[in-house]
Amino acid sequence: MGEQSTVRIDGCPVGHVASDDRGLAYGDGIFRTLCVIDGHVVALESHAQRLRHDCDRLALSAPPLNAIVADIDALCGVRGRFVVKIMITRGSGGRGYTPPLQPMCRRIVARHDLPDAPRIPLTLAIADVRLAEQPQLAGVKHLNRLEQVLARRECVARNAADLAMCDASGQLTATTMRNLVFSDAAGQWHTPSLARAGVIGATRQRLMASRAARHDPVTECRMAPDELKAFTGAIACNSVGGAIAVAAIGDHHFEYSEAMAAHATELLEETA
């Protein structure tokens, strides 16, 4: 048997996409990133729910879950630790913004090595790059991610592992690649509202569901950076790195972030 493929397109081991693909031309599509550990897809159903949600928001045909699982099995096998990126585009559509009336959506599934997670709490400055506010796209992990690309360039320029990001109104939204969750002195958890900008991550949703099941829901709210003094703990989370303690954002330091991160990790392990 030859070397295992790292990319499958519509179920075939192909390493290239058509030049008229609308995901390439216009960012007309969505993506999700998940972890596969020794053949086990971490929180598969949570990712599938977000993928279906995002496809629905863009009027894309979501692929059947069994097709995605077949791609992952073919790419990852039963041993190893991988990141899998799933992209759904509107397929080929010729020149012009207007989408085809009957698009043939394209499924692209790619395998990458799982990177090491940060070992120390994050200290986050606030990025100069801001997130545009577009309520119709807010929360959707669409393929138009130029703001995050610019923000990651800013991370490199500032020698920062990550940066916190605000929306165009100056409200704290997320980091360049993670959602944010905070705890107050009473132990109540809060997370920035993503009704106007940002990406709703599957890990954030898993934490919110776990807390709600314990009758201790996470409150979604608009928050400005100068309101962080109300919080004593903070974590940043995504599907690749899990929950990571945040030591500080800007000038505000959090005393209990590592305990919060440990609890969040326990919740995520329960729903893995």
pLDDT of residue 2: 41
Q: pLDDT of 91-134, one tens digit each?
A: 998 788 999 988 999 999 999 999 887 778 999 999 999 999 99
| pLDDT exceeds 80 at position 188 | yes
pLDDT of residue 53: 97
Cα–Cα nearest to 141, from 97, 179, 109: 179
pLDDT of residue 12: 94
Q: List residues bridging with 238 in a β-sheet.
A: 242
pLDDT of residue 1: 34
Question: Which whole number is the average pLDDT over 182-211?
Answer: 97
Confidence class of residue 15 from pLDDT cuts 50, 70 and 90? confident
* pTM score of the predicted model: 0.94
| pLDDT exceeds 70 at position 41 | yes
Q: pLDDT of 123-155, one tens digit each?
A: 999 999 999 999 999 999 999 999 999 999 999
CATH topology of domain 122-270: D-amino Acid Aminotransferase; Chain A, domain 2 (3.20.10)
| pLDDT exceeds 80 at position 17 | yes
Q: Where in the chain is the domain with CATH 3.20.10.10?
A: 122-270
Instruction: Looking at the structure, give the CATH architecture of the domain made up of residues 7-113.
Output: 2-Layer Sandwich (3.30)
DSSP string, 231-265: EEEEEEEETTTEEEEEEEETTEE-SSHHHHHHHHH
Q: Where in the chain is the domain with CATH 3.30.470.10?
A: 7-113
Q: Which residues have C-beta within 8 Å of that of residue 266, sequence separation ≥ 6?
A: none
